[in-house]
Amino acid sequence: MNGALPNLMLFAGNAHRDLGQRIAEYLGVSLGRMVSTRFSDGEIRLMVEESARGTDVFILQPTCAPVNDSLVELLIMLDAFRRASAKRLTVVMPYYGYARQDKKVKPREPIAARLVADLVQTAGANRVVTVDLHADQIQGFFSIPVDHLYGGPILGRYLVEQGYRDDPDVVVVSPDVGGVGRARSLAEMLNAPIAIIAKRRPEPNQVNIMEVIGDIEGKRCVMIDDMIDTGGSIVRGAEELKSRGAKEVVACCTHAVLSGVAAQRLQDSVISRVVAMDTVPLPDEKRVPKMTCLPIAPLLGEAIRRIHQDESVSSLFDDWK
């Protein structure tokens, strides 16, 4: 049992074991012993190698690519620990897969984000910790406590260190109307104005820029979004800003999903630098020269410690409005 945090156990699935190890090091605990392999037909075979009876178990598993494998492994882990008589099961899901399917846009579409919430609860979760949900209303899909953490302060503090605070040439840009709240919070940290890109999506991963609202001519634009997937939207937005006279465009996000050739697309774009966090694995081939990856482990580790000790989690974000 961990001396500094008695009765706490931390386990990590295969989706991001490196992050699990870094969180364990932050907490000063050992990562729980568990083996997840495959049967010959591809089914997941999981074995917990130590007793979890009566303990406060935290399971780290971002539901990132391969999304379906990560999700099913998480559900199987929850079932295993529930049957092992854990006292409480908290899912630490830095990246919430299927979050973009949070509402019906067209007839006969699923609300997959709600389905994932139902599956996680049915499998045995008592609490969920996540970071920068694509849609805030996903919290309401759960009937259990959800701790919604924000990556913005980490990005903001990095940008302050890089000299972007109180610079009259800096403007924070929201890549869409839905992200205005996030952009406003970062703008307050940097003491900068904001601008908004109005766009529409005719199809998933396609974007048409309609208008840029705000003064960006001659400015150093800091675009902030919750994720970068294919990179098409953020690159198209940066091109529009540059065409309207922006001096520099920096792209920031919490989740560097970077599907396909997205990393190279960002490297070849007009964007001067990309700042992201390691909520999902970022292999070396995607760490292009323009990419800066900030650690999320201290934030997750501190949230886990506070949850375990029944302390306030929201006070972590007193500087993020």
**What residue ranges define each of the domains in the chain, with the CATH number in brackets?**
8-150+298-317 (3.40.50.2020), 152-294 (3.40.50.2020)
Does the pLDDT at position 203 exceed 90? no
Q: Is the peptide bond before 281 cis (omega within 30 degrees of 0)?
A: no
pLDDT value of position 318: 84
In this prediction, residues 134-156 reach a mean pLDDT of: 96
| Side-chain half-sphere CA neighbours of 213 within 13 A | 11
Task: Check residue 207 and give its pLDDT.
Answer: 60
Spatial CA neighbour of 275 closest among 240, 223, 216: 223
Arithmetic mean of pLDDT, 250-266: 97
Q: Which of 301, 295, 297, 292 is nearest to 267 (CA)?
A: 292
Prediction pTM value: 0.93
| pLDDT attached to residue 1 | 46
What is the radius of gyration, based on Cα positions, of the chain? 20
Per-residue tokens: 298: 């201290």
Mean pLDDT of 81-100: 97
Separation of alpha carbons 277 and 252, rounded Å = 9
Average pLDDT for residues 170-178, to the nearest whole number?
93
pLDDT for 2 equals 59
Residue positions annotated with a catalytic role: 199
**The Cα angle at residue 246 between residues 242 and 249, in degrees rounded to 5:** 75
Residue 275 has pLDDT above 90, yes or no: yes
Written as six digits, the tokens of 219 are 């400015």
pLDDT one-digit tens code per residue, 213-251 = 999 999 999 999 999 999 998 999 999 999 999 999 999
